[in-house]
Structure 1
Amino acid sequence: VKNVRVKALAQWVSDVTGNRNGLVPLPVEASARRFYRTTLGERSVVVMDAPPDTEDNAHFVALSNCFRHAEVSVPEVLASDLEQGFLLVEDFGDNLLERTYGLGQDDKVLGLALAMLVRIQGISDPIIPAYTTERFTAELGIFRKWVLQDLIGVSTVPFDDVIDFLVRTCDTQPKVTIHRDFHCRNLLLKSNGTIGAVDFQDALVGPISYDLASILYDCYYQFSDATIETSIARYLQLAREAGHSTTDDEEDFTRALEITAVQRQLKAVGIFARLKLKQDRASHLENIVPVMRRVCELMTKHRELVACAKWLETTTLHPIRDAVARLR
């Protein structure tokens, strides 16, 4: 089936671009989509294979237009066959933010990302659905099932006790449009020095701290406490200037941000484990243990989460590390 699909894709690309230069595969990400590079005239473009049975491609196109209209730089869709799930999109290059971190320009790069984040929060469009409490709960269920039950086989009781608190903290924040996967592998520095975002198709209207939690408590990079603190202050200033309804109390906001980061990172660890256990994709195994350690650190800062953090540290961290080592 896969070969038939690749052949059909190559034929479609050839028809659209008028060239037979072939498709150069790009690194696999944590979804059902596959990406390739080819050329359209003189320019490099990205080919997206997004199976329509799992991907809502019409929504992707609509969101691309919506974000670009709001001056948020996401790839323009240049051609599409939505029925087959084939799209030709603008190429933002390979300079992921991940590659720019730690080289002495973190402040500058984060400044660009924060400015984009605030622009995204200013988008208001009925095509963007709400982040529901059911969805928050289901996401924590991914960690519960794929890590606690399937990866290491332990009782979930201490974790179950904090689910309502995590969901409530996420859900009671002011709501804005969020990218929802706003991290260093979905943000790129373009050749003109501006920043671009990819993987925006899951955008929702959700907690105001969510995208900030994604970038500052990134699963793929750890910032210093000082950088995080400065970035929170910078974000709050930008948000106030943009007229977003954040709190004036930096301490309250930071508390909500950290608890939102816990919810998000637990979901991510669950997805990383599921990728291996369900699809035999080991691409994100190496991130599981470092992210779990950071989750425990963040949890211990909040009294409602301390007991669960202690339980995770004493009961689950070693078995998780052993299970990951076995699976690699």
Structure 2
Amino acid sequence: MRDWLNHSLDSDDFQLSVASSDASFRRYFRLLFNQRSYIVMDAPPEHEETEPFITIAEFMLSHGVPVPVIHAKNQQEGFLLLSDLGTTAYLDKLNNQTADALYKQAIDALLTMQLAQLNTINLPDYDPAKLIMEMQLFDDWFLQKHLGLEPPACLPALFELLVDNAVQQPQCLVHRDYHSRNLMLDDNNQLGVIDFQDAVNGPVSYDLVSLLRDCYIKWPDADLQRWLDYYFEQACDKGILNNVSRAQFQRWFDLMGLQRHIKVLGIFCRLNYRDDKSNYMNDLPMTLNYVREVSSRYPECQDFAQFLSQQAKIAAIQ
């Protein structure tokens, strides 16, 4: 990586420090050169592809979404030199005083992303097979591996309900991890969006539920509904939502969140047991609580809600 940077910068007079790692094999370094800061992505080619990141970054930039600029690339070895969007994640700045302005800023950027014309980029569809495969992680890693429990008989019907809810929605560009750890603030409090390389063409409510029912921070329902209203009114005005009632959108949002959080419970356990990243287990209780709340609210999910409440091992996760 240093050899490539020496060549790309035509200099070895730079400083490198670890910036972060994420839930994949990617690592990130902060590079200081000529009194400017950059980010170096190290994505081992045997595990990660850089092409999706490059394609989606260039597409998003062309549509006004604030993502990193790619200054140099070495796809053979998996290195990218990116603009630095700052060291401050949304999660570090969200509090009762800042939340309203920050969430509206994030929703504005989300609307910009959803308005992007997808006819110039080939994104995979968030299709039923993929949605079900994701939810199966709940059975494989959360129920069986983590808790030693057999799946309830109601699970296939629940999965079918959640897939139907997803595919009946308007489809648009979906970031897939649009939450407080992937939204950055620079020194001028301007938003930057990262970790978008897994973007797909999928349900309109997915990124909004990732943002507002974040697995790392929770808000009172009154606040959430106010931000939902803010999104809904603009999405209708901009033509993202057509002839959709607020009640219908609420159902889409709630059940989309149930699909996402069921999946995430499995992912957090897989990160722990397979990848030795145990810190994600701290986020199980909040994620599970979202699943409990939504499943208890809808009659079609009552069998699943009952399973969650009757299983002592699940009920004990607080």
TM range (shorter): over 0.9
**For 1:116-144, what per-residue CA distance to the aligned partner results, in whole angstroms no more than 9, with x for missing partners?**
11111111233222111100000001111
For residue 56 of structure 1, report the CA deviation from its aligned partner. Answer: 2.3
Q: Among 25, 30, 39, which residue is 2:23 paired with?
A: 30
Corresponding residue number in structure 2 for 1:109: 102
Structure 1 gap ranges (5+): 1-8, 323-328
**For 1:160-207, what per-residue CA distance to the aligned partner results, in whole angstroms no more than 9, with x for missing partners?**
331111111111111111111100000012222321100011111110
Give the letter aligned to residue 232 of structure 1. L
8 Å CA contact retained: 1:78, 1:88? yes
Corresponding residue number in structure 2 for 1:150: 145
8 Å CA contact retained: 1:289, 1:320? no
Corresponding residue number in structure 2 for 1:121: 114
Q: Among 9, 13, 23, which residue is 2:5 paired with?
A: 13
- Cα distance in 1 for residues equivalent to 2:176 and 2:242: 18
- Cα distance in 1 for residues equivalent to 2:191 and 2:176: 17
Corresponding residue number in structure 2 for 1:325: none
Structure 2 gap ranges (5+): none
8 Å CA contact retained: 1:137, 1:167? yes
Greater shift in the superposed pair: 288-297 or 76-85: 288-297
Q: Among 227, 251, 264, which residue is 1:268 paired with?
A: 264
- Cα distance in 1 for residues equivalent to 2:316 and 2:80: 39
In the superposition, relative to structure 1, how do residues 320 and 166 fare at CA in structure 2: closer, same or farther (>3 Å)?
farther
Corresponding residue number in structure 1 for 2:253: 257
Corresponding residue number in structure 2 for 1:134: 129
Give the letter aligned to residue 197 of structure 2. Q
Give the letter aligned to residue 129 of structure 2. E
Greater shift in the superposed pair: 56-65 or 139-148: 56-65
For residue 13 of structure 1, report the CA deviation from its aligned partner. Answer: 2.3
For residue 111 of structure 1, report the CA deviation from its aligned partner. Answer: 0.7
For residue 227 of structure 1, report the CA deviation from its aligned partner. Answer: 1.0
**For 1:49-89, what per-residue CA distance to the aligned partner results, in whole angstroms no more than 9, with x for missing partners?**
01123322122111111000000000011111001001111
**For 1:36-57, what per-residue CA distance to the aligned partner results, in whole angstroms no more than 9, with x for missing partners?**
1112322110110011233221
8 Å CA contact retained: 1:179, 1:200? yes
In the superposition, relative to structure 1, how do residues 210 and 247 fare at CA in structure 2: closer, same or farther (>3 Å)?
farther
Share of identical aligned residues, percent?
Answer: 29
Residue 65 in structure 1 maps to residue 65 in structure 2:
no
In the superposition, relative to structure 1, how do residues 246 and 41 fare at CA in structure 2: closer, same or farther (>3 Å)?
farther
> RMSD across aligned C-alpha pairs, in angstroms?
1.7
8 Å CA contact retained: 2:14, 2:33? no
Residue 279 in structure 1 maps to residue 275 in structure 2:
yes
Corresponding residue number in structure 2 for 1:209: 205
Give the letter aligned to residue 79 of structure 1. A
For residue 11 of structure 1, report the CA deviation from its aligned partner. Answer: 2.4
Give the letter aligned to residue 151 of structure 2. T
Give the letter aligned to residue 7 of structure 2. D
TM-score by length of 2: 0.94
How many pairs were matched up? 314
8 Å CA contact retained: 2:41, 2:80? yes
Residue 93 in structure 1 maps to residue 89 in structure 2:
no
- Cα distance in 2 for residues equivalent to 1:318 and 1:209: 27
Helix, strand or coil at the partner of 1:150: helix
8 Å CA contact retained: 2:296, 2:302? yes
TM-score by length of 1: 0.91
Corresponding residue number in structure 1 for 2:311: 315
8 Å CA contact retained: 2:309, 2:315? no
Helix, strand or coil at the partner of 2:173: strand
- Cα distance in 2 for residues equivalent to 1:185 and 1:99: 9
For residue 21 of structure 1, report the CA deviation from its aligned partner. Answer: 3.7
**For 1:240-290, what per-residue CA distance to the aligned partner results, in whole angstroms no more than 9, with x for missing partners?**
222213443111101110100011111111111001111111121100122
Give the letter aligned to residue 165 of structure 2. T
For residue 317 of structure 1, report the CA deviation from its aligned partner. Answer: 4.5
Helix, strand or coil at the partner of 1:23: strand
Helix, strand or coil at the partner of 1:229: helix
Residue 191 in structure 1 maps to residue 183 in structure 2:
no
Moved segments of 4+, more than 3 Å: 316-322
Greater shift in the superposed pair: 131-140 or 13-22: 13-22
In the superposition, relative to structure 1, how do residues 318 and 133 fare at CA in structure 2: closer, same or farther (>3 Å)?
closer
- Cα distance in 1 for residues equivalent to 2:316 and 2:70: 41
